[in-house]
């Protein structure tokens, strides 16, 4: 109870969704005039994450979901550690923990695992899946690499002043929504995308509101300890992105190492890298054990394959309205 009192914002249950979208049910967090959305089981860890002790040598990657997070994590970790062999052997979820990961894990999932798992290795893996990642990070005596989809407003207040390195990646809303649709709605028919887009535009998804999330990152672009990237720029020129990140992280890289890392994070190689897949148990029982779930296409503009002219007109109006509130502009055309 004492720890809970340290969380300064009110949390309330979110809305019920249709059967296709049960897995995006969220809670509401009231921060000033903004109502943030977080995963359903976030309340139990809200205070622990908000009060998490940030260290000056931490490296964080913060994004709205499906905005090039995994790609950025892999690039960043390898720039700092310069060990491509370890990057194919040690799971990314261990090298670069997702601090609020267990906010997605239900009691039913835990009970089912405890009741049904008999394989010793799988049981060990399961126990790692359900252990709060913020606790694992607290116990890590070495330099820490931390992933989050939470907005800055819900992360430790010292994050942007501690001297640690923060990389924020923003992806245009149309492609982010399509990628999220394919990730969250694997069993949903294509025609369900319209309902999904309505939920996205109306800020019903976890980590929403979308525009507040990305503009929070944009406002920190002049902070010397924040590197703001557009996903579209990273995809169009990965070598340039690697060089930019290396400079930000104060690491010298030869052109040969830049080439090797760019090849390592090529989407085909990422799909085939077992260390990227994460915990097998989690994938089999939550995500369906499909590598394409994590790495679909890795391109810019795939939204054109999903948006009808009617959805696109609504989306463009929404984007135009939000562009009036910020000088941030995505390096893409929305026509």
Strands (E), 207-307: 226-230
pLDDT digits (tens, 9 = 90+) for 21-54: 665 678 999 999 999 999 989 999 999 999 999 9
- How far apart, in whole angstroms, are the C-alpha atoms of residue 76 and residue 96? 10
Any bridge partners for residue 228, and if so which? 168
pLDDT at 11 over 60: yes
**Residue 205 annotated to the active site:** no
pLDDT at 19 over 70: no
Dihedral sign for Cα atoms in the order 296, 297, 298, 304: negative
What pLDDT shows up at residue 289? Answer: 45
pLDDT at 279 over 90: no
What pLDDT shows up at residue 259? Answer: 98
- Tokens representing 87 are 């990057």
Name residue, tokens 């790692």: 128
Catalytic annotation, pick one of 20, 104, 149, 264: 149
Any bridge partners for residue 100, and if so which? none
pLDDT digits (tens, 9 = 90+) for 63-110: 999 999 999 999 999 999 999 999 999 999 899 999 999 898 777 777
Please give the average per-residue pLDDT across 274-302, as a whole number: 61
* Residue 150 CB-density burial (10 A; 0-12 exposed, 13-18 middle, 19+ buried): buried
What pLDDT shows up at residue 295? Answer: 58
The model carries a pTM of 0.91
pLDDT at 18 over 70: no
Q: Which of 1-5, 48-52, 178-182, 186-190 has the lowest mean pLDDT?
A: 1-5
Q: Which residues, 6 or more positions from 97, have their beta carbon under 8 angstroms from its beta carbon?
A: 133, 136, 137, 144, 145, 146, 147
What pLDDT shows up at residue 81? Answer: 98
Please give the average per-residue pLDDT across 175-200, as a whole number: 83
The CATH classification number of 53-292 equals 3.40.50.300
- How far apart, in whole angstroms, are the C-alpha atoms of residue 104 and residue 133? 12
pLDDT at 3 over 60: no
- Tokens representing 316 are 């463009």
* Residue 269 CB-density burial (10 A; 0-12 exposed, 13-18 middle, 19+ buried): middle
What pLDDT shows up at residue 210? Answer: 98
């Amino acid at each position: 109870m004492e720890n809970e009192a340290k969380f300064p914002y009110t949390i309330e249950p979110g809305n019920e969704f249709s059967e296709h979208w049960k897995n995006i049910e969220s809670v509401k967090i009231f921060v000033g005039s903004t109502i943030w959305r977080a995963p359903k089981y976030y309340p139990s860890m809200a205070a622990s994450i908000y009060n998490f002790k940030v260290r000056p040598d931490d490296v964080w990657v913060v994004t709205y979901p499906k905005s090039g997070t995994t790609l950025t994590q892999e690039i960043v970790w390898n720039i700092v550690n310069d060990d491509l062999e370890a990057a194919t052997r040690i799971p990314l979820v261990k090298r670069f923990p997702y601090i609020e990961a267990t906010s997605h894990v239900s009691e039913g999932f835990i009970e089912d695992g405890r009741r049904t798992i008999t394989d010793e290795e799988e049981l060990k893996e399961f126990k790692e899946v359900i252990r709060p990642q913020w606790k694992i990070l607290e116990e890590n005596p070495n330099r820490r690499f931390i992933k989050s989809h939470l907005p800055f407003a819900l992360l430790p207040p010292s994050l942007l002043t501690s001297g640690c390195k923060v990389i924020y990646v923003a992806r245009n809303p149309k492609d982010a929504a399509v990628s999220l649709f394919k990730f969250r709605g694997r069993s949903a028919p294509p025609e369900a995308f319209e309902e999904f887009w309505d939920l996205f535009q109306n800020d019903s998804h976890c980590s929403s509101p979308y525009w507040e999330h990305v503009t929070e990152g944009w406002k920190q672009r002049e902070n010397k300890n924040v590197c703001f990237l557009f996903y579209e720029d990273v995809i169009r020129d990965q070598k340039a992105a690697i060089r930019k990140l290396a400079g930000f992280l104060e690491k010298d890289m030869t052109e040969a190492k830049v080439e090797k890392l760019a090849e390592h994070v090529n989407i085909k190689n990422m799909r085939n890298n077992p260390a990227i897949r994460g915990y097998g148990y989690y994938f089999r029982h939550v995500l369906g054990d499909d590598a394409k779930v994590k790495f679909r296409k890795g391109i810019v503009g795939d939204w054109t394959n999903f948006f009808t002219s009617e959805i696109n007109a609504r989306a463009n109006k929404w984007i135009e309205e939000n562009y009036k509130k910020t000088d941030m502009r995505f390096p893409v055309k929305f026509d």
